């Protein structure tokens, strides 16, 4: 059975930069507090009427061009997001419209911070088994319209930024190259440790004027310490799982790209695995947590910085809301 590999990669970050100091005018926080706890210095926010698929389309055009694939040659669109442009249909459909394509399989994956890797796993299996030849996988989020930018919401609001990343995947006949394996996990018992409740289909009605006007139920809420503790356990676990599944150990790894949730988490994970700093790529300082977009965005910058070369053993790993966590091992 063949493998899949990334044929092209593209990213889009909206131009508006929001620094920690900018946030201090909206809420009671400080640059020092944010940097110390998260490593974030600034993030980007999209403009009015720019949704996840709008940004995703820009990223996708770059990825398609770099892959040498025309948009109409794509036979599946997978869109990972927890902040779709509209409530229904999926952002994958809006993306098709923006790219002027239609007819192929297209769906959204809602798996939060692990969304890109869940989408990658699905794309990989569709290609591996010969069901698809060219899959466009997009991870994009517009968080800025769904966070509570007041003192009440500051613990979560300071973390998130908007961005999009896209990859085009195609077949790789050399089974020692490309995506070697993917590993997916979840633990729904912690669903409400990091969540966005409303609109909630289980509420009747699922949206009320009270929810929208005054409550914090339409914004994400988090028990930070809880998330932190699980993240520093699950990240190393799922990285080791990917390595072991392929007969490798941490020493064989060329580069680890962790989902950019919090710099302190990435640092603790690297320390626990005894991975030297140059083998872990972080860029959360400039983008914040961009959820489904963070891995392709970091991957792009790692390539641009010449931190990843052909033949390198690359591990992508994520942990976040759900809880969900995941990894992929790639021979680049």
Partner 1 sequence: MPATILGLAHGLPPEVEVVGVRRPIAADPVGPSDLALDPGRRVLEQASITAADVDFIIFATMTPDVTFPGAACYFQDKLGCGTIGAMDIRGQCAGFLMSLLVAESFLDAGVYRRIVLAAGEVHSSGLDYSERGARVAALYGDGAAVTMLGPAATGGVAAVVCHTDGRLHDGFWIEYPASRQHPVRVTVDDLRAGRHFPKLDFDLVARFGRERLPAVVGEVLTRARIAIEQIDHLILSHVLPEVGDDAARTLGVPPSRFINATAAHGHLTAASLPVALSEARTVGRIGAGDRVCLAACGAGFAWGAAVLTL
Residues designated catalytic: 113, 259, 289
Decide if residue 323 touches partner 1 (CB under 8 A): yes
Q: Which one among 11, 71, 109, 163 touches partner 1, defined by CB under 8 A?
A: 109
Q: Determine how many CB atoms are found less than 10 A away from the CB of residue 25.
A: 6
Instruction: List, in sequence order, every residue forming a beta bridge with 222; answer none if it has no partner.
Output: 194
Letters for 116-145 (x = contact with partner 1 by CB under 8 A, - = none) are --x--xx-xxx-xx-x---------xx-xx
21 or 187: CB nearest partner 1: 187
Element (H, E) at 14: none
Q: Which one among 18, 59, 60, 92 touches partner 1, defined by CB under 8 A?
A: 92
Only one of the segments 59-67, 183-191, 262-270, 272-280 lies at the binding site for partner 1 (rule: CB under 8 A); that segment is: 183-191
Only one of the segments 17-25, 99-107, 282-290, 294-302 lies at the binding site for partner 1 (rule: CB under 8 A); that segment is: 99-107
Q: Which one among 13, 166, 168, 184 touches partner 1, defined by CB under 8 A?
A: 184
Residues 295 to 314: which contact partner 1 by CB under 8 A? none
138 or 280: CB nearest partner 1: 138
Q: Determine how many CB atoms are found less than 10 A away from the CB of residue 33.
A: 14
> How many residues at the interface with partner 1, by CB under 8 A?
85
Only one of the segments 36-44, 84-92, 300-308, 311-319 lies at the binding site for partner 1 (rule: CB under 8 A); that segment is: 84-92
Q: Which one among 27, 218, 222, 303 touches partner 1, defined by CB under 8 A?
A: 218
| Angle, alpha carbons 268-274-279 (nearest 5°) | 90
Q: Which one among 189, 225, 274, 278 touches partner 1, defined by CB under 8 A?
A: 189
Minimum distance of partner 1 from residue 80's CB (angstroms): 10
Burial class (CB in 10 A: 0-12, 13-18, 19+), 188: exposed
User: Which residue do the tokens 């872990």 mark?
Assistant: 280
Please check whether residue 63 is in contact with residue 10, taking contact to mean a CB–CB distance below 8 angstroms: yes
| Angle, alpha carbons 136-157-167 (nearest 5°) | 10
128 or 307: CB nearest partner 1: 128
Structure tokens at 307: 């931190």
Please check whether residue 262 is in contact with residue 284, taking contact to mean a CB–CB distance below 8 angstroms: yes
Q: CA-to-CA distance for 25 and 76, rounded, in angstroms? A: 44
Q: Determine how many CB atoms are found less than 10 A away from the CB of residue 102.
A: 11
9 or 53: CB nearest partner 1: 53
Decide if residue 112 touches partner 1 (CB under 8 A): yes
Minimum distance of partner 1 from residue 106's CB (angstroms): 4
Nearest C-alpha neighbor of 165 from the set 283, 49, 246, 73: 283
Map residue 18 onto helix, strand or coil: strand
Q: Which one among 260, 282, 300, 324 touches partner 1, defined by CB under 8 A?
A: 324
Residues 195 to 214: which contact partner 1 by CB under 8 A? 195-209, 212-213
Rg (CA), the chain: 19
Decide if residue 173 touches partner 1 (CB under 8 A): no
Decide if residue 89 touches partner 1 (CB under 8 A): yes
Distance between start and end Cα atoms, the chain: 18
Decide if residue 26 touches partner 1 (CB under 8 A): no
């Amino acid at each position: 059975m063949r493998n899949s590999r990334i044929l092209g990669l593209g990213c889009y970050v909206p131009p508006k930069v929001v620094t920690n100091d900018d946030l201090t005018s909206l809420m009671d926080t400080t640059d020092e507090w944010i940097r110390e706890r998260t490593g974030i210095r600034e993030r980007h926010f999209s403009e009015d009427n720019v949704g996840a698929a709008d940004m995703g389309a820009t990223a996708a055009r770059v990825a398609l061009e770099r892959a040498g694939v025309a948009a109409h040659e794509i036979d599946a669109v997978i869109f990972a997001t927890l902040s779709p442009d509209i409530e229904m249909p999926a952002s994958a459909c809006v993306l098709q419209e923006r790219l002027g394509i239609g007819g192929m399989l297209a769906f959204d994956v809602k798996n939060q911070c692990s969304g890109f890797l869940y989408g990658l796993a699905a794309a990989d299996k569709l290609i591996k088994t010969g069901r698809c030849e060219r899959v466009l996988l997009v991870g994009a989020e517009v968080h800025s319209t769904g966070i509570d930018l007041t003192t009440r919401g500051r613990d979560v609001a300071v973390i998130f930024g908007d961005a999009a990343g896209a990859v085009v995947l195609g077949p790789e006949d050399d089974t020692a190259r490309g995506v070697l394996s993917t590993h997916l996990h979840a633990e729904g018992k912690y669903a409400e440790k990091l969540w966005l409740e409303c609109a909630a289909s289980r509420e009747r009605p699922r949206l009320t004027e009270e929810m929208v006007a005054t409550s914090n139920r339409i914004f994400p809420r988090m028990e930070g310490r809880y998330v932190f503790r699980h993240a520093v356990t699950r990240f190393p676990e799922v990285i080791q799982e990917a390595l072991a599944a392929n007969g490798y150990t941490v020493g064989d790894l060329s580069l680890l790209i962790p989902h950019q949730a919090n710099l302190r988490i990435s640092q603790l994970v690297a320390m626990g695995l005894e991975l030297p700093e140059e083998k872990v790529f972080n860029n959360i300082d400039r983008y914040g947590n961009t959820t489904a977009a963070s891995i392709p965005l970091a991957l792009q910058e790692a390539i641009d910085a010449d931190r990843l070369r052909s033949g390198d053993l690359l591990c992508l790993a994520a942990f976040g809301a759900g809880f969900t966590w995941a990894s992929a091992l790639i021979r680049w």
